Chain A
Amino acid sequence: DGGITQSPKYLFRKEGQNVTLSCEQNLNHDAMYWYRQDPGQGLRLIYYSQIVNDFQKGDIAEGYSVSREKKESFPLTVTSAQKNPTAFYLCASSTLDSPWFYGYTFGSGTRLTVV
């Protein structure tokens, strides 16, 4: 079955560490997205990519970095510059052909906690 796989499901980070969240899709979607979810704040866009080797900042990109070396993969690195990284992170993907019609497909998320 096609879908998006996020790993790990739970991740613990020490202060000052960088951590990388994995997102892999086998839907043949061109566009991929990273969202951060905090209670009461909904989903906020961190980065998105529409094509390999290209990506754009979203609304809250500071303290995060991404890469898109393969169409299927869009890893997110939470750097030590991100002062409040504890949150639930969601990866999504969509077609570039009428995404407003088909919507996004979401992964099951990674819960990151700073310890």
Chain B
Amino acid sequence: AQSVTQLGSHVSVSEGALVLLRCNYSSSVPPYLFWYVQYPNQGLQLLLKYTSAATLVKGINGFEAEFKKSETSFHLTKPSAHMSDAAEYFCAVSVNTGNQFYFGTGTSLTVIP
């Protein structure tokens, strides 16, 4: 079975500071990993995905994530936070033996001016 754990349901950073949102996964087979962003009262938008190519994945809005198999992690980072980054972020895992995704419980990012 697959699952993801997002450490920290709420993260606050100052504008211009590093953003680090943590995601650890559990999977018995090679995983495919995704980060989605959700703005208030909106659906989820794909930020980036890892599909077994490069371990460092770049996404939209300056975000990137690194797949680390030894740590079973897929943390999301951004060097400099903008006010517009304030949103909820979800990590998700899938595998190529089915079409279901398993989502983490989300991390709410607050950016302090």
Contact = CB atoms under 8 A, between A and B. Distances in A.
Interface of A: 4, 6, 9, 31, 40-43, 45, 48, 50, 88, 90, 92, 94, 96, 98-101, 103-104, 106-109, 111
Interface bin, chain B: 20 to 34
Contacts of B99: 31, 50, 94, 96, 99-100
A42 B95 contact: no
Contact of B32 (A9, A42, A43, A100): A100
A65 B62 CA distance: 40
A111 B41 CA distance: 8
Contacts of A111: 41
A50 B51 CA distance: 22
The 7 closest A-B pairs by CB, nearest first: A106-B43, A42-B105, A100-B94, A99-B99, A106-B44, A43-B103, A100-B32
